[in-house]
Amino acid sequence: MDSSIDEFYMQRCIQLARLGAGNVAPNPMVGAVLVYQGRIIGEGYHRQYGYAHAEVNCIQAVKPGDRHLIPAATIYVSLEPCAHYGKTPPCAELIVAEKIGEVVIGCVDTFSKVAGKGIEILKNAGITVRTGILEAACRELNSRFFTFHEQQRPYIILKWAQNTDGYMAGADGRPVRISDTLTDRLVHRWRSEEMGILVGANTAIADNPRLNNRHWTGKDPLRIVIDRALQTPRAYHLWNGPSATLFITASSAEKTSVAEAITADFSQPLLPQLMKILHGRNILSVLVEGGAYVLEHLIAAGLWDEARIIFGNNPLAQGVKAPTLPQHLLMKEISIKGDKILYYRNSREALTI
């Protein structure tokens, strides 16, 4: 098979998979394409957590007049088909049942319940399996999923807005508008794509934030607040619905209909405890929106995967300085009205807490 043809169909798998962003976590985003003699006869993606996987939707999309072609077709899938019974049956067994003769896989699933078992099922059934097609891109597609399972922590995205002089808040720590309101919609889209959103007590008290994605569609992230003394006023948004909130505190544990406060040992390093708590709650990814104190501690620990920095034009003579990123790679740059947004990646090969 011509490698360029394989890559063409795998790229389509990746495009389809991205349509599930924000809806499938803690599952990975997956796309699948069924091809017969150079013609796509079915395609699908994992649309929503708990529902049919990409391979199922792909096969179900085949028109009745083409169903007899399925055994002679090749299925392309961006991630190794699952091999375990969860909320849905194993996709590897479905492929065997449909008598599909060839499977082309983007990357192997390192999740312990799969980890090569899907490929083993396929090969044991006499199916031809090829792997590693656009492997880096397929792993990048699910960087949150792989980070969570391989490093036992959420994928961490830092976000802040600063002006051209490097200030992110007023001198008194109070919030000021730095970016355009249109950029707010992009930020709320980011929120809809992640499972959690994190701030510290200073931001919670000064801003009274909602931390939801009211300017976009989709599910709100879990609101996470590091509040050692549990000082966030009970009348504030974070204690009220409709989004859930998790307070990390040294105070007493408690639970309401919306908010939960759990205790951590603040006499010990907090970040390892926080990562363990979030991993235990199946939070694959966290968008960190501040403030400066929380951002700087995560940066100092090397505990971040991406950073998205919004540069606005609001002049400030003085104020709270924005953090500085060490060891980073610029991924892309976009502009929205007068705002410039830079996307960075942590360039360290191995992150440690």
Report how far residue 217's alpha carbon sits from residue 115's, in angstroms, rounded to the nearest whole number: 34
Which residues does 86 contact at the CB level (< 8 Å), separation at least 6?
Answer: 113
Within 10 angstroms of residue 281's Cβ, the number of other Cβ atoms is 15
Report how far residue 146's alpha carbon sits from residue 139's, in angstroms, rounded to the nearest whole number: 7
- Is 55 one of the catalytic residues? yes
Sequence letter at residue 121: I
- List the catalytic residue out of 55, 80, 194, 306: 55
Dump the DSSP string for 149-208.
HHHSS-EEEEEEEEETTSEEE-TTS-----S-HHHHHHHHHHHHHSSEEEEEHHHHHHH-
Virtual torsion, Cα 134, 139, 142, 145, nearest 10 deg: 150
Report how far residue 288's alpha carbon sits from residue 307's, in angstroms, rounded to the nearest whole number: 9
For residue 67, is it left (φ>0), alpha (ψ between -120 and 50) or beta? alpha
Query: Looking at residue 64, what DSSP letter applies?
Result: G
Query: Looking at residue 80, what DSSP letter applies?
Result: P
Distance of CA 214 to the CA centre of its chain: 19
Report how far residue 212's alpha carbon sits from residue 223's, in angstroms, rounded to the nearest whole number: 8
Q: What residues are labeled active site?
A: 55
